[in-house]
Structure 1
Amino acid sequence: MRSLRPVSPTDLTLICRHREAMFREAGWDMMAIATMAVPFREWLAPRLADGRYFGFMVDDEGRAIGGIGLLELTWPPHPSHPHDDRRGYVLNLYVEPPHRGKGVARSLMMESQAELTRRGLSYAVLHATANGRKLYEKLGWASTSEMATPLAFDGMPA
């Protein structure tokens, strides 16, 4: 029997494992993933503890099979949200491979959108992998014009 529940601090290791698997499946280099692992865990632990990182897990017979993370970001008012200085951010959507194609990711996204709305947010963003793009588009999400570049750190090029 599947059930949906909020993430909790006890999910720290699971969220880290899901995030690493998500990046691995998206084609990231194993060294880059390993380099991120400890800093991400150190970043996540206090945010899980105080609720700044929130989200949901889907359990099946007592075992987590998928999860999603959410953040509330401060952001200047924007044409897409002119009266709100915040936006929701969706991250770390991951479903264990044997449970894919069964509506788990869709239910996590639907509950996440509802939670962001309950918190009074009027706009949300995410970064889509090729695997996730189709689902997001079906749920009404659209590509934006965002671009990115690594910046120099300690005088060394990134």
Structure 2
Amino acid sequence: MIKMRPVLPKDLDLICRHREAMFAEAGRDAREIAAMNPAFRDWLKPRLQDGRYFGFIAEHDGHSVGGIGLMLVEWPPHPSHPSDDHRGYVLNVFVEHEQREPGIARLLMDAADREFRQRGITYAILHTTKAGRPLYDRTGWVQTSEMAKTIQPVAG
């Protein structure tokens, strides 16, 4: 049986490992992932401690089999959330490869929905890979018009 528990500060290493594996499976360059890891760890640690990063760990027989991270993002009122000044943000959705069949990712997404609802969040966003898109489609997420661009730093 799968049990959900809230993420805790002690999950720092686990969440970092999940994030690294998530990006590796998405085909990101190993050097880029390695460059991100220390900065992500430094970013995550205080947010786990003060609750700005929250979410769930899925466990089976006391062992982690997946996780999901959640945050609140300040955002001006928008037609999709006309009276709210924030959005929910889903990140670091990961399920161990050998555990992917039993629907654990769906359980994690359902837990995220409940948590956002309890916190009064009316609109949430996430970024997905091609492989993750079917899960999000099945759980009511829709594609938006967002685009992205990497801005090169000023040469020093």
Query: What letter corresponds to residue 137 of structure 2 in structure 1?
Result: E
What letter is aligned with 1:70?
L
**1:18 maps to which residue?**
18
Which whole-Å deviations, capped at 9, do the CAs of 1:95-117 have from their partners, x for residues lacking one? 00010021100000001011011
The residue type paired with residue 2 of structure 1 is: I
- 2:75 aligned residue: 75
Structure 2 gaps of 5+ residues are none
Deviation at residue 130 of structure 1 after TM alignment: 1.2
Q: Tell me the CA shift for residue 151 of structure 1.
A: 1.0
- Shift of residue 63 of structure 1? 0.7
The yes-or-no answer on 1:133 pairing with 2:137 is: no
Structure 1 partner of 2:7: 7
Deviations 1:119-140 (A, max 9, x none): 0010000001111100100111
Please give the per-residue CA displacement for 1:45-104, whole angstroms capped at 9, x wherever unaligned.
Answer: 000000000000011111100000000000000000000000000000000001002110
What is the rounded CA distance, in whole Å, between the counterparts of 1:131 and 1:15 in structure 2? 20
Give 2:104's aligned amino acid: V
Matched residue, 1:62: 62
Which residue is equivalent to 2:148?
148
TM (norm. structure 1) is: 0.96
The one-letter amino acid paired with 2:123 is Y
Q: Distance in 2 between matches of 1:74 and 1:52?
A: 12
Letter paired with 2:50: D
1:77-92 residue pairs with structure 2 within 5 A?
Answer: 77-92=77-92
Aligned residue in 2 for 1:53: 53
Shift of 1:2: 2.1
Deviation per CA, 1:17-52: give whole Å up to 9, x if none.
000000000000000000000000000000000000
Residue 123 (structure 2) aligns with: 123
Q: Which amino acid aligns with 1:15?
A: I
Percent of counterpart pairs with the same letter?
56
* Residue 98 (structure 2) aligns with: 98
How does the TM-score come out when normalised to structure 2?
0.98
Moved over 3 A (4+): none
Distance 1:102 1:72 in 2: 29
Q: In structure 2, what residue type is equivalent to 1:59?
A: E
- 1:106 and 1:155 map into 2 onto residues whose CA distance is 44
